[in-house]
Amino acid sequence: MDRGVAQMETPPATRAWYRILYVQVLVAVALGIAVGWLAPEFGKSLKPLGDGFIKLVKMLISPIIFCTVVHGIASMGDLKKLGRIGFKTLLYFEVVSTLALIIGLVVVNLLKPGAGFNIDPATLNAGLVKDYAVKAHGMSTVDFLLNIIPKTFLDALVGGDLMQVLFISILVALAVSGMGPRGKPILNGISHAAEMLFGVMAIVVRVAPIGAFGAMGFTVGSYGLGALNKLLALMAAFYLTAGLFVVFVLGGIAWWCGFSIFRFIAYIKEEIMLVLGTSSSETALPGMIRKLEGLGCSGSTVGLVIPTGYSFNLDGTNIYMAMAAVFLAQATNTPLDLGHQISLLVVAMLTSKGASGVTGAGFITLAATLVAVPAVPIESLALLVGIDRFMSECRALTNLVGNGVATVVISRWEKEVSPETLRSRLQQRTDPQ
């Protein structure tokens, strides 16, 4: 399944600017914000456009991940290599995601965006967070582990739970690998199936501007720009922290591995625009797979690291959870000492895992964290309902860049690609021609 440097998008230099996908998405986002602001009721009616596009993408995510992971692992051949890459990947994810949590806690304690709000939780509408609280109470370690096992083999592919898809993909890959030469036809069939699915995705992403227009129109029409007023301090602090994390933490890791984080961000600009318009990092997953392979990362590494990262390496979600939990404590005048915040850190490390397959994942994982650390009243979550959609875009963007950098890092550790090759291919794709 070596797709080389093939991209879903024709290089920008070969077409007029208005035909470039990321430009179309950016224009659509701006139009959606304007429509939602000037005509809120009409903006709300655009919700099906955004929902429809995300459903189109999600119907392809599970089979694409299945084919990518199976082909990547089975074609690796060496199970020792699989174990080595898997260990390095999980170790990297745990270190970086924990660092994201710590940075979130440090910044929110320094800036104190919730100080002075003096909110009484009893005056909030608890009904707004009832469903999230119920789901959060249902999350236990045993339930989480059992949920990784699907009811049937096909249930994983149709249910949309990425952890279940990963589970059956790894089992199938190990089985095909164990068949030796007899597994070659199966591997070739999976490779062709993946090419077909990527072809379907290339068709689907052409309507991304329509989806982005509908999603932003609904968001602004429903909550209004006024929803940002009192909570602007938290939003600004979160966006600032996520930006600093990308530039300095991920940028430092990228520099250590021999490439520029800014070149990398420019390289994946189409995927970033998709995420910006839809608030979902899953919409960019197929494009990220192809672009990372285009940089020289092997299909086996990309097939293992990227899908796993969507469950275990949610840097943006971790920063959000740490900052939002302490913000709510500050806003409700709830004292959180060092012991409480360490407990919060440990719990958040667990609740953030596997969140990508859950609708409203950021809110549910935050609710689960507050349930486990009951010092902060869970009713205070109602404060964040109005701005969650605006926050989710930053979470998704940070998660996307974090998983892309992680894949390149693991490929560098495996000596699959050299710094010179990385710099050359990133420069070719970002410099004007």
Band of pLDDT at residue 256, cut at 50, 70 and 90? very high
The answer to whether 216 touches 32, Cβ cutoff 8 Å, is: yes
pLDDT of 353 reads 61
CATH number at residue 168: 1.10.3860.10
d(Cα 96, Cα 313) in Å, to the nearest integer? 8
372 DSSP assignment = H
| Amino acid residing at 47 | K
Position 5 in a domain: no
The domain total for the chain is: 1
Position 3 in a domain: no
d(Cα 347, Cα 369) in Å, to the nearest integer? 6
With a cut of 50, say whether residue 433 has pLDDT above it: no
Position 281 in a domain: yes
- What are the C-alpha distances in Å from 263 to residues 266, 296, 375? 5, 15, 43
Nearest-CA neighbor of 40 among 213, 225, 221? Answer: 221
Position 364 in a domain: yes
Position 1 in a domain: no
pLDDT of 78 reads 62
Taking only the tens place, the pLDDT of each residue in 198-223 is 788 778 878 878 887 887 788 778 76
Position 18 in a domain: yes
Q: What is the DSSP secondary-structure string of 242-273?
A: HHHIIIIIIHHHHHHTTS-HHHHHHHTHHHHH
d(Cα 270, Cα 296) in Å, to the nearest integer? 19
Taking only the tens place, the pLDDT of each residue in 363-383 is 667 776 776 666 777 777 767
Please state, rounded to an integer, the average pLDDT across all residues of the chain: 78
Position 164 in a domain: yes
Taking only the tens place, the pLDDT of each residue in 85-94 is 888 888 898 8
What pTM was estimated for this model as a whole? 0.73
Position 151 in a domain: yes
Task: Give residue for tokens 């089992």.
Answer: 171
Other C-beta atoms lying within 10 Å of the C-beta of residue 155: 13
The answer to whether 254 touches 260, Cβ cutoff 8 Å, is: yes
At residue 140, what are phi and psi to the nearest 5 degrees?
A: -130, 165
CA atoms within 13 A on the CB side of 58: 18
Burial class of residue 78, CB neighbours in 10 A (0-12, 13-18, 19+): exposed
Domain, as residue range, for 32: 12-430
